[in-house]
Structure 1
């Protein structure tokens, strides 16, 4: 791996608690990722709609419920096939 950080971490739990829409914050972080880099998202629920949105952008995901209102989701940007 190179020296550049391979992980970007975003926590939207406070945003959602304060009725702030977190979608732009998440998508701004996604735009900075390169192939094989990861976005770790902390959310108060399992964000099913986001899986489809980011899946179309080439991301896979793994989710884990850490507490009642704390989900950790790891999105990984897939390497682009160049043939």
Structure 2
């Protein structure tokens, strides 16, 4: 079992996405394996995404790092 410090993290920055980034986020999540995480970079806290992630078996940690920059680290449960 890997620890967070050993976990590979892929980054997806959707701040400049054209339109709704939901499909892009779901596609990126489909590309990671159990030992990886996805760091979503967004300009706002993506609250509607949390329910979807929980229902699909993901856990997440959210951090606001600047006025218009949020990082959501998503990993399989």
What band does the TM-score fall into relative to the shorter chain? 0.7 to 0.9
Q: Deviations over 1:3-47 (max 9, x none)?
A: xx82221000011xxx52111110110111222320100001111
Aligned residues: 72
Gaps of 5+ in 2: none
Gaps of 5+ in 1: 79-83
Structure 1 range deviating more: 52-61 or 30-39: 30-39
CA RMSD of aligned residues (A): 1.5
- Dislocated runs of 4+, deviation >2 Å: none
> What TM-score do the two structures reach when normalised by structure 2?
0.83
> What TM-score do the two structures reach when normalised by structure 1?
0.78
